[in-house]
Amino acid sequence: MKKLLIILLVIGTLGGLAVLIMQRAEKVQTARAEQAKPVILPKVSVKVSAAVARDFANVVEVTGEVRAKRVVQVYPKLGGRIEAMDVALGQRVAAGDVLARVEENDLGWREKQGVAGERAASAGVRQAAAQVDILKIELERAKKLYAEGALPEADLVRVQGQMTAASAALNAARAQVDVAKAGSGLAKEARSWTVVESPIDGVVTRRFAELGATAGPQMPMFELQDQSTLEIRVDVPAHALDTVKAAEVSGTELEFTVTERPGKVFKAKVKAIGRSLDAQSRRIQVELEASGDIVDEGVLPAMMATILLRTGERKGLVAAPREALITTVEGPSVFVVRDGKAKRLVPGEGDRTHVPVAEGLAVGDEVVVEGQETLRDGSEVQVVKPGDKVGAQGSDRAKPADAQGGKEAKGGNGEKVEAEVAP
């Protein structure tokens, strides 16, 4: 009896498990069937623009730091407490202008002492010269008397010795004047060291010391920059060197921009080209000189400049307007309308107005320029007229390329492109 009950219990348990397994299998099949159903994408209203043929110029983008023509740090020659600061930050100065003054202490008295010593030495010279003049007369008289036999030879020799001694004393007095002048000059020079002057025409760009602080010859007080001309130093790849050399020979100005002044284009001439490539970067250093007083236009030293060097052309490429370019999960994308559906195409390197599409686009094709943010490859689209609303409900799968700051992608050698309309 017990065995029969056990057998019935086992059979019941196995039956329950079989039912659960069958129910699970039905759910899996149902889920797979749902996944297999085609996804119905919402129809998206879009605006389009025609693809065109354009000539694209290859350009190499190089960057460099804007630099002042000269940068000088000014040190005091003498240490001491700063008694005066005569210039403000940003002030223009000329060579020789007083920037600051350091306390004199006893240097003024030393200068006066040197002047007094110079005067005393000069008086000694006059006294010695007068003695020489007196002895010259006495020597002439002694010679005359000796010649007449009226003066012993010993007296003549005595007068001659006195004359020699007086001449030596005069030379010593004159030497003492030179020593006194040197001492006085040193005292004046030391006192002049308390005045800190500008060595160049320029602008005060930094102040390292303040009024009342202690200055020393080992610490700079100011930084001055000669901003009459700004320079840019860039490292150019070897394959763009011919473009730079051509600009140098012809005097052609190259265009550059700075991030801090968006929308403005400045110009510079090639000033110097290096003679050797850098062993690691395989680039050559080039110095450019900016044209005009661009400081007044807001360009300052230490800003980063971007220069575009044209190295060649690609003619007759089919291109889409830049407004069509977006970034999707698949990467940079352009959508073209084909038979009422959107087809994703891969764009190349573009310029400010267009991007070339190497495959899948023909001149005149309708390229989506508005409403493409929610498109996927195969989305149904409806082209609307200007002024009508665009778009449809859908996942936010894309971002316009403009959200990235309008920067073009660059190739492995740093090249990007710039275009002109093909004739």
Residue pair 309/283 in contact (Cβ under 8 Å)? The answer is no
Candidates 161, 170, 173; CA nearest to 133 is: 170
Which residues are paired to 376 by β-bridges?
A: none
**Which tokens belong to 415?**
């090249």
Structure confidence at residue 402 (pLDDT): 44
For 76-103+195-220, which CATH class?
mainly beta
pLDDT at 34: 64
Give residue 298's region: left, alpha or beta (phi > 0; psi -120 to 50). Answer: left
For the chain, give every domain's residue range: 44-57+317-421, 62-68+226-312, 76-103+195-220, 107-192
- Looking at residue 38, its pLDDT comes to 55
Q: Is 398 helix (H, G, I), strand (E, B) or coil?
A: coil
Distance (Å, rounded) from C-alpha 411 to C-alpha 417?
A: 10
Contact present, 398 and 294 (Cβ < 8 Å): no
3-state SS assignment for residue 13: helix
3-state DSSP assignment of residue 357: strand
Q: Are strands 366-370 and 266-273 parallel, antiparallel or unpaired?
A: unpaired
Which residue type does 309 have? L
| DSSP per-residue letters across 274-323 | -SS--TTT-EEEEEEEE-S-GGGGT--TT-EEEEEEEEEEEEEEEEEEGG
Q: How far apart are CA 170 and CA 173, in angstroms?
A: 5
The two structure tokens encoding residue 48: 């389009």
pLDDT by position in tens, the chain (length 423): 566 666 656 566 666 666 677 777 777 676 676 665 555 556 888 999 999 998 887 788 899 999 998 999 999 888 888 888 889 999 999 999 999 988 876 555 555 665 666 676 677 778 878 777 887 887 788 777 777 777 787 777 787 788 787 778 778 777 776 776 666 666 666 666 778 889 999 999 999 988 888 888 888 999 999 998 899 999 999 888 888 888 888 888 898 999 888 888 999 999 999 988 888 888 999 999 998 888 888 899 999 999 988 877 788 889 999 999 999 888 999 999 998 899 999 998 888 889 999 888 999 999 999 988 888 988 998 888 776 677 654 444 444 444 333 344 444 344 444 443 333
Q: How far apart are CA 387 and CA 380, in angstroms?
A: 20
Q: For the domain with range 44-57+317-421, which CATH number is right: 2.60.40.60, 3.20.20.220, 2.40.420.20, 3.30.390.50? A: 2.40.420.20
Cα separation, 44 vs 42, whole angstroms: 6
Tell me the helix, strand and coil percentages in the chain, rounded to 5.
35, 35, 30
Q: Residue 267 belongs to what H/E stretch? A: strand 266-273
Predicted TM-score (pTM) above 0.95: no
Task: Please count the residues of the chain.
Answer: 423
Q: Which are the contacts of 380, defined by CB distance < 8 A and separation ≥ 6?
A: 41, 42, 43, 44, 340, 341, 342
Distance CA 7, CA 19 (A): 19
Give the domain 62-68+226-312 fold: Elongation Factor Tu (Ef-tu); domain 3 (2.40.30)
